[in-house]
Structure 1
Amino acid sequence: MISIFIIFAIFILFNINKLTTSLCLQKEIPEEKQPKVFRTINVLITILLITSYIEILFT
């Protein structure tokens, strides 16, 4: 169960990072601010994935 969820989480994070890259290009976010945008989005998605795993684990 955990291995399937880890593969799923890596797939989700990879796709979210691709979408974030296109967002930065489309909105013309300066190079200096891009790492902050990526860090914020990755932390929020990681929190979402962890809480989803905990919810699946306890139901």
Structure 2
Amino acid sequence: MISVFIVFAIFILFYVNKMTNSLCIQKEIPEENQHKVFRTINVLITILLISSYLEILYT
């Protein structure tokens, strides 16, 4: 089960990063601020994925 969830998590992170890149291009966010946007979104998505995995694991 963990291997399926890891593949799913990698797919989600890749797709969210793709959408974040589109957001940065559309909103014309400066290059120096894009790193902060990507870091913030990746940390939040990682927390969401970990909490959802723990919820699946313990229910």
Structure 1 unaligned spans of 5+: none
Letter in 1 for 2:53: Y
Moved over 2 A (4+): none
Identity, in percent, stands at 80
1:57 aligns with: 57
Give the number of equivalent residue pairs.
Answer: 59
Letter in 2 for 1:32: E
Structure 2 unaligned spans of 5+: none
Superposition TM-score, scaled by structure 2 size? 0.99
**Partners of 2:31 and 2:42 in 1: how far apart?**
17
Superposition TM-score, scaled by structure 1 size? 0.99
* Bigger share in helix: 2
CA RMSD across the alignment? 0.2
